[in-house]
A and B are shown apart, each in its own frame.
Chain A
Amino acid sequence: MISLLILLLAAGQIAPPDTGPAVPAPPAPPAAVRAFDTPNDAGKSITLRWSADTLARSLLIERTGPDSTTIIATTEPGETGYLDEQVMDRVRYTYRIAAVGDGDTVWSASTAEVSSTPQLFNTNRINILIAMVIFFVMVIYFIETAKRGRSLFVRRIAGLDAVEEAVGRATEMGRPIVYVPGLGSVADIATIASLNILGEVAKKTAQYDSALLVPNRDPIVYTVAREMVKESYTKAGRPDAFRNDSVFFVTDQQFAYAAAVDGLMVREKPATNFFLGMFWAESLILAETGAQTGAIQIAGTDSVFQLPFFITACDYTLIGEELYAASAYLSREPLLLGSLKGQDYGKMIILAIVVIGSALLLLSRTPSLAFFGRILDFFNVS
């Protein structure tokens, strides 16, 4: 994505193909030759700029260091800049550029002394720092207010109201619930959200005393899931009801795992299937087989490519962020509700920036307000 933008900016600098014969008159020396320490870099680099309106055959770049004067590069006449990366930090250099004509070479005036230094802060990324500070302050502020007991409202999420009903249904029919915590690792946000929801669902299966099956693909997620379910059963006051083989590791191979869970669903005929977390191409195999067994299916993922299959094949689908909000919604835990509120305000700020920014940018068409055009550059990334 980043390179996308650099490329678009680079569009303007396509060097025009060099056409036309060199005029025999002696070329004028390059004008406005400037040298400065390359900004926002790790040092050892000096940038040269000049306006070459000469019709020379080529240009010579000469650097004068404390102990030597050498010609470091020859470039095409069309070039107007050069990056010298063979310099040492904190050493003073001066530069000269020559336009080479048919018989003679004309030198420009040499630049002022310049030395290269590494920078401690990348000023191009100030916009990201501002965005980070604003968002962090908001999330932490709302978590603190939630801690002080202020109740925070969360809108109804269809898929999650069905959890209560789905667990009840499983108990009446005396059939198990299959909970697939996704195929991601513990470092994936969707897996963390899914494990939190598993904790809530386990509390309900403990209360209703219905069977719960949790097949895992990642060995580490397996250990975390087992702890989560055991803890939920003790919190629900039913430590004895926890069955050791309800949470188990299957295989970490994507399609072998999908085939194994399919076999489980066809054999056990669960009343409810949960598919919450990270999914890839196997989402379709699980959702389609699950639909055949007649179970209620509640799915949720942040993977845009897999959501279409869940939406068409499952009864309820949590789209992207709804999966993250689910654990806050089910647990009503102040910390989670607080951060959810922070995210909502983050979205509001983004919308405000987009609307106001667009209005100003459109106004910048009128010459007097042209400076609004620079809003776009503020959002450049590098």
Chain B
Amino acid sequence: MKFFESLLKLDRRIIYIVVGLLVMLPLIKPLGLGVSSGPRARALFDAVDALPAGKTVLIAVDFDPSSMPELYPMLVAMMRHAFAKDMKVLLCGLWVTGSGLADQAAQTIPKEYGKEYGKDVVYLGWKPGVDAVILGMGENIKNVYPTDYYGHPLDSLPMMRDVQRLRDIPIVFAISAGTPGYQDWLLYAQSRYGMRVGAGVTAVSAADAYPFLQSGQLTGLLAGMKGGAEYEVLVQKAGYSKAYMPAVAAMDSQSLAHVVIMLLVIIGNVAYFATRKRSS
């Protein structure tokens, strides 16, 4: 029984070290616990994969740095998928705090596929107003964005010649950490311009998105880091990318972290009940 008592008095810092290591190690050397791609991630992947080369995919970066761990890998994976299929990527955003992230992606990912800014990828930037922005883009993108994030007039960008308004874009992948987000793209882009909408959301708000899946309005859904990892695996299995997959590595850490929490609860309860039985 002495063992259980000492177990109860275990210093918190030992627990912190154990958790810290178990979460950090898989990031350095991924264990590859295998990420099985669920139906929702596959539905989005198939919808994008079926698009012919040359088509443009619109990605809405509607999140800020604080939800970056869960949502940024989705942005990267979708861009890699589009570029590998010689498709073009148009970036925009309804969150002012997301501009830095979209800019970072627009500068780094195209290089991996030898793609050129203005020809294969354009970042429009942020504009205030949610319905005004989406409805405006529906009529004519240039009304809302006369110039892109870097100040180039839209007419000077070759890619924008065959993308005048939302009807020219088959699908929008709205990555949202809250509102404004995918619900606005559904409310304005889909019901008025018939655009297909795929959504990427944080794990906490995934449950709210399920009704839109059942009703068929959402073409696919990536939920939290797991959703990002599923899409990364799909992109890699299709041979579109061999790069390091941050979400997949993170899923190993997430798995270990969950297991550690459960073991701690079990051990804690066993020690608690053992000492209580002895003392009562």
Contact = CB atoms under 8 A, between A and B. Distances in A.
B217 A11 contact: yes
Given A15-B194, A17-B194, A10 B211 contact: no
Nearest to B182: A7
A375 interface: no
Interface string A1-22: 0011011101101110100000
Interface in A1-54: 3-4, 6-8, 10-11, 13-15, 17
Interface string B172-210: 000000000001101100110010000000000000100
B187 A13 contact: no
B212 A7 contact: yes
20 contacts: A3-B184, A4-B183, A4-B208, A6-B187, A7-B183, A7-B186, A7-B191, A7-B217, A8-B211, A8-B212, A8-B217, A10-B191, A10-B217, A11-B215, A11-B216, A13-B191, A14-B190, A14-B217, A15-B194, A17-B194
Contacts of A15: 194
Interface in B216-238: 216-217
A11 B191 CA distance: 8
Interface size classification for chain A: 10 to 19
Contacts of B194: 14-15, 17
- Give the 7 A-B residue pairs with the shortest CB-CB distance, closest first: A10-B191, A11-B215, A15-B194, A7-B186, A3-B183, A11-B217, A8-B215
Nearest to A16: B194
A6 B186 CA distance: 10
Nearest to B170: A17
Interface residues of B, number: 13
B237 to A, nearest CB: 30
B180 to A, nearest CB: 10
A10 B187 contact: yes
Given A3-B184, A11-B216, 20 more contacts: A3-B183, A3-B187, A4-B211, A7-B186, A7-B187, A7-B191, A7-B212, A7-B215, A8-B211, A10-B186, A10-B187, A10-B190, A10-B191, A11-B215, A14-B190, A14-B191, A14-B194, A14-B217, A15-B194, A17-B194
Contacts of A10: 186-187, 190-191, 217
A10 B185 CA distance: 13
Nearest to B190: A14
A264 to B, nearest CB: 19
B73 to A, nearest CB: 24
A197 B215 CA distance: 46
B2 to A, nearest CB: 21
A3 B186 CA distance: 10
B46 to A, nearest CB: 18
Nearest to A305: B204
A1 B208 CA distance: 9
A14 B186 CA distance: 11
Contacts of B208: 4
Contacts of A8: 211-212, 215, 217
A13 B217 CA distance: 11
Nearest to B208: A4
B254 to A, nearest CB: 19
Contacts of B186: 7, 10
